[in-house]
Amino acid sequence: MIERTFEGRLFGPGLPGTGAEAVGSWDGQGHLRVAVEVTPRTELLAESPAIAAAGFNAASLRITWEGEAGAYAFVIETDAARAACGVSAPPDIARRVLSAAGSRERLERRFRFGGVLLALILLLPLIGIGVFLLNSDRVADWAVKRIPYEQEARLGDLVLAQTRLQMKILDSGPAVNAVSAIGSKLTTGSLHRYRWFVADRPDVNAFAAPGGVVVVFSGLIRSAGSAEELAGVLAHEVAHAELRHSLRGMVKSLGLRALVSLLTGDASGGVFADAATRLTELRFSREAEREADDEGLRRLVKARIDPNGMLRFYQKLAGERRPSPPPIISTHPATGERLERLRREVAGLKQKWAPLPIDLTSLK
């Protein structure tokens, strides 16, 4: 059985601002009759009402018309009343009621689309993981930019602790003082708090851990002919630290776990221990090495340290014939090309240099 009446609220002249409870019904001619529950009970007749969706989310049906006393609106809120209004109406009115309901459905679809958008936003971290796997270079760059310097320094501490397990690290003494004196000239105004160390090892090597931890092997100091030559290597390592190459290398080689740990501020976990032990073997790209050469040279010039020292040391290492090339060369690829570049750059410089007041021969 079809419900012939439908409840709603009527708004109009002489009625409360919040509307009055009313019951509507259609007559055979498509006129709307509205009985209003006020005293005395009033019945209105709307001959050609307009029908539209209304309210938040278009959930209600609004039937409006011009009466003798002014404009009226009959608002139907409940699903049951809306349905009764539709099925009891003559066919052409029923179509208009349906069309108003359709606009509600269209709105609901839009809301569902909004839901999809929201889900996408919530899923972005997961999408990020996918992108990380697909394109770790760019994501590593993205991540490195967001890692605070304090966090990077903590990572440097961790690397240092791991390195101490592997080799004897000198914290003080004349060699450390010499390295620190030269190094501080190259790092004025840096965001890192630099710490300089000497490893008691015969290898010709040096490395910059994240966060401004620089370790120079005693073998490198021994093979440097002057403080300027040592400064050349330090400038290159400092440049790696300034450009955050080591941090980037660790983030890249460790992947997502490191990324999450670093971004959430937990760099103390065991995630990094392994990478820390492998840092001395970390290989930078050819491009990173070129960048470090350029930035290192720029820092030497700024500190008025003769860059011919850097050039001489590179030439010496490149010319050395050993069963295996010195690590600083083997882990820094494309030496010939880099040497040529550096030669050209240094030849173009016309500055006056201030000799470093450090005597390496007495150190050895």
Burial class (CB in 10 A: 0-12, 13-18, 19+), 74: buried
Q: Least distance (Å) from Zn ion to the CB of residue 341?
A: 14
CB nearer to Zn ion: give 34 or 292: 292
Q: Least distance (Å) from Zn ion to the CB of residue 268?
A: 27
CB nearer to Zn ion: give 64 or 253: 253
Q: Least distance (Å) from Zn ion to the CB of residue 206?
A: 9
Instruction: Tell me the sheet residues that pair with 24.
Output: 6, 34
Residue number closest to Zn ion, CB atom: 332
Residues for the chain: how many in total?
Answer: 364
CB nearer to Zn ion: give 185 or 332: 332
- Cβ atoms 346, 311 nearer than 8 A: yes
Nearest to 317 by CA among 217, 246, 249, 174: 217
Q: Binding residues for Zn ion, per CB under 5 A?
A: 289, 292, 332
String of DSSP letters for 68-108: SSSEEEEEE-SHHHHHHHHHTS-HHHHHHHHHHHHHHHHHH
CB nearer to Zn ion: give 239 or 258: 239
Q: Least distance (Å) from Zn ion to the CB of residue 183?
A: 16
CB nearer to Zn ion: give 10 or 288: 288
Interatomic CA distance for residues 304 and 54, integer angstroms:
77
CB nearer to Zn ion: give 289 or 295: 289
Interatomic CA distance for residues 280 and 276, integer angstroms:
8
Q: Least distance (Å) from Zn ion to the CB of residue 179?
A: 17
- Cβ atoms 300, 293 nearer than 8 A: no
Interatomic CA distance for residues 87 and 25, integer angstroms:
11
Q: Least distance (Å) from Zn ion to the CB of residue 137?
A: 18
